[in-house]
A and B are shown apart, each in its own frame.
Chain A
Amino acid sequence: MRRPDLVRDYAEDLSLFEDRRWMALAAFGLVGLVVFVAALAPDYAVYVTTRVALYVIAAIGLNLLMGYAGQISLGHAAFLAIGAYTHTILYTKGAPLLVGVLVGAIVAGAFGFLVGIPSLRLEGPYLAISTLGFQVAVDQLLGRWEALTGGRMGLPVPAPEIFVELSPRVYALLCIAIAALVIVATYNLTRSRIGRAFVAIRDNETAAEAMGVDLVIYKTMAFAISAAITGLAGALLVHLSDSINPSNFTLLDSIELLVMIMVGGLASILGSVLGATLLVTLNHTLTAFRDYQAVAIGTILILVILFEPMGLRGRWLRIKTYFKAWPF
């Protein structure tokens, strides 16, 4: 079942899963994770696992934009914030949880589309600055618009509820399920016509245009999809505490997302998963270092990038190649 060597026609390009063996392995891992969360894990581990699942979603969102479409963004925490606030406001007013989450993602996607418009003229550092401006603007707006957002004090978040109130364990399972869906969906997106257009734009904008790819549509689409996925993560993130405020979504959080995909591996769904897992886990486990926790995390990240410039995914590729070529 090795691909893409054996692709014979266009229909095979459209199949949902390209390799059954890896799919089996992933399903096995997923079942293990579900059992772990549902029965075995202590409460704190459940909390950390939920965060990991949600940051996996957010990192995938950013990686679609930066890794695949090659457009830089320093403002992705703003999309987290938009998803989070939209959902919280709707949910407080009585909308069902999943509807609020979905609308949060859609609103974030709409803002992503708007932020994508400057990318038609700007690139590299200049685009970075324009997205940075968006991040700062959203941060200020959330802090000042007290009637809607509660200002710097933030908003209280009601407990998650779908017909019955969800315990943290059940909520964790919900988040894992959504993360799994996002992984399958985005993985297939990257293999599709749209995904190829993103990579083509990244590799060579001129040639992509000469092939007939409409840059206006596909660049703004990359921003919109990326922002919507990140907004989805933001909306689900609110139920991990009982209130949200603008300080949860600052420039530092944008940069943390950036670090996740750089450490995990650009232009790779697996890389996003590995990067988000590593960073969130580090943030919540190295507490023994107390004041020096930030130093310890920084050191680990520098070492990873130093020894594995392609990110954690590079290590995985090497392991895979080793076994494929075994015994040589």
Chain B
Amino acid sequence: MSLLSAERLEVFYNRYVQVLRGVSIQLEPGQIVAVLGPNGAGKTTLIRTLMGMIDDQPERGEILLEGARIDRLDTSERVGRGLACVPEGREVFADLTVRENLLMGGWTAPRRDTDANLARVFEHFPRLEERIAQRAGTLSGGEQQMLAIGRALMSAPKVLLLDEPSLGLAPIVAKEIFTILAQLAERGIALLLVEQNAKRALELASYGYILESGRVVLAADTATLLADDDVQEFYLGAKQTESKKGYQRYKRRRRWA
């Protein structure tokens, strides 16, 4: 039994626009799973569906956390059961201080654990402790991302869903964030990582899903994905088809499409 599993999720926007067409994923404790895919594939929709932030969805399919169905629960109840997310584009509370942001993250956690949870976040992100009284809106992008992750950790989650944590960050800052994500997985937290930076995501993760137009077109451990010709060409840009008659062909049909 997986920690988190989604079975054949189908999600519609406004009843007609189908975004997910039978997506199934599995997540084990301490595992990092990457979800890759082009714009509009449904990656963010997948995270929002898992969190229960789209009203009355999924239309079909089920979501199980530790064997119990959660797909009809409110977001707040799901957070209470051990699901947390770091939304795309950080979305910190700009007018609250770093400390207050973190307290918001511990919304569903027992209040007597607040100090322990704060200490644990500061252990991973010493930078946040230095800026504890600063308003979150005045932090740098990297610090805001750290705050968003720290805030999600305040509820002591079992599963952390991350929507593009490296978006708009300098490579060196992104690297720092990814190092911390690896540490979190070592502590037994399961991470679902949605990323545009395919290379870095596949290096970190142990398993990966490739999502295109709302379907999982490829699911395999990362070693297999990294070796796959199509992944190399379309996501890593590492390999190109050999030239014929002396000129380069840039477009090639994907085998899975």
Residues of A within 8 A of B (CB): 4-5, 7, 9-10, 13, 193, 196-197, 199-200, 202-204, 206-214, 267
Interchain CA distance A31-B155 in the complex, whole Å: 45
Kindly report which residue of chain A lies nearest to residue B77, judged by CB atoms. Answer: A212
Chain A minimum-CB-distance residue to B154: A211
Q: CA A136 – CA B76 in complex, angstroms?
A: 36
The answer to the question of B57 belonging to the interface, with a C-beta cut-off of 8 Å to chain A, is no
Is A10 in contact with B85, judged by CB distance below 8 angstroms? no
Contact of B93 among A13, A207, A212, A214 (CB under 8 A): A207
- Contact between B75 and A212 (Cβ–Cβ < 8 Å)? yes
Contact A212 B133 (CB under 8 A): no
Cross-chain contact B103 with A13 (CB below 8 angstroms): yes
> Cβ of A211: which chain B residues have Cβ within 8 Å of it?
79, 104-105, 107-108, 151, 155
Cα of A213 to Cα of B95 in the assembled complex, Å: 17
In contact, A9 and B115 (Cβ under 8 angstroms): yes
Known: A204-B93, A211-B107. A7 touches B80 (CB 8 A): no
Across the interface, name the chain B residue whose C-beta is closest to A3. Answer: B133
Query: Judging by beta carbons under 8 Å apart, are A212 and B99 in contact?
Result: no
Alpha-carbon distance between A197 and B107 when the two chains are bound, in angstroms: 9
B133 lies within 8 A of A5 (CB): yes
Chain A nearest Cβ from B77, distance in angstroms = 8
Could you tell me the distance between the alpha carbons of A203 and B100 in the complex, rounded to whole angstroms? 13
Known: A204-B91, A204-B93, A207-B92. A196 touches B85 (CB 8 A): no
Pairs A–B under 8 Å by Cβ, sample size 10? A193-B107, A196-B100, A203-B94, A207-B92, A210-B85, A210-B87, A211-B79, A211-B151, A212-B155, A267-B95
Contacts A211-B151, A212-B80 known; A10 to B99 CB distance under 8 Å?
A: no
A52 to chain B, nearest CB (A): 28
Task: Give min CB distance, A9 to chain B, whole Å.
Answer: 5
Query: Is A10 a contact of B115 with CB atoms below 8 Å?
Result: yes
B70 neighbours in A (Cβ, 8 Å): none
Closest chain B residue to A5 by CB distance? B133
Decide if the interface of chain B is mainly helix, strand, loop or mixed.
mixed
Of all chain B residues, the one with the shortest Cβ separation from A213 is B107
Residues of chain A lying within 8 A (CB to CB) of residue B104? 196-197, 200, 208, 211, 213
A106 to B92, CA, bound (A): 35
Q: Is the CB of B91 within 8 A of A7?
A: no
State A204–B89 Cα separation when bound (angstroms): 12
Contact yes or no, A210 B93, CB < 8 A: no
Chain B, 108-140, contact with A by CB distance < 8 Å: what is the 0/1 string?
100100110000000000000000110000000
Give the distance to chain B from A317, nearest Cβ to Cβ, in Å: 13
Given A203-B95, A207-B92, CB of A196 within 8 Å of CB of B103: yes
Given A199-B93, A206-B87, A212-B155, do A5 and B132 touch, yes or no (CB 8 Å)? yes
Q: Which residues of A contact B87 (CB under 8 A)?
A: 206-207, 210
| A196-B96 contact in complex given A4-B133, A13-B103, C-beta closer than 8 Å | yes
Residues B9-57 near A (CB distance < 8 A) = 51, 53
A4 touching B99 in the complex, CB below 8 Å, given contacts A211-B105, A211-B107: yes
Give bound CA distance, A197 to B104, whole Å.
7
**Contact: A10 with B93, CB < 8 Å?**
no
Chain B residue at minimal CB-CB distance from A267: B95
Task: Report the bound CA distance from A52 to B87 in whole Å.
Answer: 45
- What are the residues of chain B within 8 A of A204 when measuring CB–CB? 91-94
The residue that A7 contacts in the complex, of B76, B84, B96, B99, with Cβ under 8 A, is: B99
Interface residue B186 (Cβ < 8 Å from any Cβ of A): no
Residues of A within 8 A of B133 (CB): 4-5
**Quick check: B96 and A200 within 8 Å, CB to CB?**
yes
- Bound-state CA distance A196–B108 (Å) is 14
Give Cα A302–Cα B222 distance, bound, in whole angstroms: 63
Chain B residue at minimal CB-CB distance from A195: B100
B228 part of interface (Cβ distance < 8 Å): no
How long is the Cα–Cα vector from A212 to B97 in the complex, in angstroms?
19
* Chain B nearest Cβ from A30, distance in angstroms: 28
Beyond the given A193-B107, A207-B87, please list 6 additional residue pairs across the A-B interface where CB-CB is below 8 A. A10-B114, A10-B115, A202-B95, A209-B76, A210-B85, A211-B79
